[in-house]
Amino acid sequence: MLAIIIPAHNEEAFLGQCLRSALNAAADPALTGEPVQIIVVADRCSDATETIASQFPVITLTVFDGSVGAARAAGAMYALEMGARWLAFSDADTLVPDKWLSAQLACNADAVCGVIDVHDWTADDKVVRQYFKKTYVPMDGHRHIHGANLGVSARAYQLAGGFQPLPSHEDVALVKRLEQSGASICWSASTKVSTSARKSFRAPAGFGATLARVRGLITFPAHGSRPVRIDPFGAIEV
């Protein structure tokens, strides 16, 4: 059995589309009929997140942990108890491709770190969008780590100790421990997902927060000088 684990904190605006994409990935013929269980971990939700999840053939766990790391861990524990051999993690504001799971498995690795794109740039994000395109490298061999696009075998996950109850960077911490445990990691562009650039981000140091910092770092110097823009992935001058 395979498992898709999606933490959600007040995600009524995005969850429906996310689950439809996850169900499409679960129905991929390349999986040759292997069961896929989708698990939504509703963490401290005060909106219609759980109601929306109940309209889909998924399992909904209700938790009050207050951190994305703890929510991912709760979903992983449930999946492992069900006998899942592979854990695929995404986010509730993210759309996964139809071949997402099969592409992860095709990497033949203990873990797969995938890349992202953005599906909802707004008009006022033109400069931020340009930054992202210039500084983000979505190709095989990349070194990006996203909880929105991460897969790991049950054995490697347990050997590494699983997710820590962190409010941010729980994905980075897990991958570091996977590396320390000797797990083979595939840094693949074949599993690209599409995520949100929303300004009301959840994780205090996640992708949304990174974009917020970019927005704040964009400066327009005095007339006659060249603009220097600082990117969170490294400094560039344009």
Distance between CA atoms of residues 188 and 23, nearest Å: 22
- The b/e string for 200-232 (b: 16+ C-beta within 10 A; e otherwise) is ebbbeebbbebbbebeeeeeeeeeeeeeebebe
5, 6, 7, 8 alpha-carbon torsion, rounded to 10°: -150
Cβ(158)–Cβ(77) under 8 Å? no
Poorest-pLDDT segment among 63-72, 87-96, 152-161, 224-233:
224-233
What would the mean pLDDT of 91-113 be, rounded to a whole number? 97
Average pLDDT, the chain: 87
Q: Say whether pLDDT at 11 is over 90.
A: yes
Pairing of strands 36-43, 2-8: parallel
Question: What integer pLDDT is reported at residue 173 of this predicted model?
Answer: 96
Question: What integer pLDDT is reported at residue 130 of this predicted model?
Answer: 82
Question: What integer pLDDT is reported at residue 210 of this predicted model?
Answer: 67
pLDDT digits (tens, 9 = 90+) for 141-180: 999 999 999 999 999 999 999 999 998 899 999 999 999 9
Residues 6+ apart with CB under 8 A from 235: 228
Q: Which residue has the higher pLDDT, 219 or 68?
A: 68
pLDDT band at 124 (very low <50, low <70, confident <90, very high): low
DSSP per-residue codes, the chain: -EEEEEEESS-TTTHHHHHHHHHHHHT-GGGTT--EEEEEEEES--SSHHHHHTTSSSEEEEE---SHHHHHHHHHHHHHHTT-SEEEE--TT-B--TTHHHHHHHT-SSEEE--EEES---GGGHHHHHHHHHH---STT-----TTSEEEEHHHHHHHT-----SS-HHHHHHHHHHHTT--EEE-STT-EEE---SS-SSTTSHHHHHHHHHHH----STTS--EEEETTEEEE-
pLDDT digits (tens, 9 = 90+) for 18-62: 999 999 999 999 999 999 999 999 999 999 999 999 999 999 999
Question: What integer pLDDT is reported at residue 221 of this predicted model?
Answer: 44
Cβ(39)–Cβ(2) under 8 Å? no
pLDDT band at 123 (very low <50, low <70, confident <90, very high): low
What would the mean pLDDT of 184-192 be, rounded to a whole number? 96
pLDDT digits (tens, 9 = 90+) for 191-230: 999 998 776 666 665 676 666 666 666 444 444 434 333 3
Q: Which residue has the higher pLDDT, 16 or 216?
A: 16
> What is the architecture of the domain spanning 2-197?
Alpha-Beta Complex (3.90)
Question: What integer pLDDT is reported at residue 136 of this predicted model?
Answer: 87
